[in-house]
Amino acid sequence: MNTNETPKPSQSSDSMPEKQDALVQDALDPNPLGFDSEDIDYTKMARDPVCGRLVSKATATETLPAPVNDQGEGFIYFDSPECKALYEEDPAKYGSSF
């Protein structure tokens, strides 16, 4: 190979961006179990207001009391500590006002 030539990617690296994209999309999927809206039991599940992922109310470790003016739940449920921290920084950005 001439030292001035750029090496061509191998066939396996051609599919690498597609694989990475699929991994990113899977990680960002707020509904990894593929529930339809009518399949979700909102008495047992909640939607994280930051990332949109479904959270089990029974096992959620990251919660905050809901604002007084919130017509819904008594708590806001979060998928992760990072989502909770983002919400606490700017609740209005996620549809709440205290």
**What was the pLDDT predicted at 11?**
47
Write out pLDDT tens, residues 60-91: 999 999 876 555 568 999 999 999 999 999 99
Domains of the chain, residue spans: 35-98
pTM of the predicted protein model: 0.58
Question: What are the DSSP calls for 55-81, one per residue?
Answer: EETTT--EEEEPPTT-SS-SEEEESSH
Distances 54 to 9, 21, 38, 45, 48 between C-alpha atoms, Å? 39, 22, 14, 6, 6
Q: What is the dihedral of CA 78, 83, 88, 90, to 10 degrees?
A: -120
Write out pLDDT tens, residues 16-52: 666 666 655 555 555 655 666 666 787 888 889 998 8
